[in-house]
Amino acid sequence: MAPQLLFDISGIDFDRVEMDAHAIERVNPHRGNMRLLDGVFHVTDDVAVAYHDVRDDAFWVAGHIPGRPIMPGVLMIEVAAQLVSLCSLRRLKDANFLGFSGADDVKFRGQVEPGQRLIVLASVSNFRPRRCICKTQGLVDGTLVYEGTITGMPL
């Protein structure tokens, strides 16, 4: 049985970016090659939908399978972790950084290649001032390519 999406995304306007890279950087501290969130389509206290555009000149392309580059799974997890950070830091007004403290039940179900857009979903399953746990999924062209549970703690 194919896994279900975390929540219904049929009402999300994928032509309207709610937060661009500059707005994301006002919340998340990631910069340069390590800022992987390119935009956010939708964010509330409970759910978020964002994206990462996989560029042909990304730092990993030349070396992660020369001749057939595929996005490293650890970077898919990092994109999801940055979305969890954004969701949490919006609620934690006194925190400046959400440290990644765990990834559970991670599965990679497909490949992500340069030129594709990775859409990431996050659903908060447990939020406390010292810990946030979110279920996350990644999609490419509507196909689930990644899922996992991300835990973060304010540092």
Q: Which of 101, 92, 152, 153 is nearest to 122 (CA)?
A: 152
Asked whether the beta carbons of 77 and 83 are under 8 A apart, the reply is: no
Q: Residue 94, Cβ neighbours under 10 Å: how many?
A: 7
Q: Catalytic residue positions?
A: 64
Q: Which of 23, 132, 142, 139 is nearest to 79 (CA)?
A: 139
Q: What six digits make up the tokens of 30?
A: 């990631």
Q: What six digits make up the tokens of 141?
A: 């062209």
Environment class of residue 132 by beta-carbon count within 10 Å: exposed (0-12), middle (13-18) or buried (19+)? buried
Alpha-carbon distance of 77 to 99, in angstroms, equals: 13
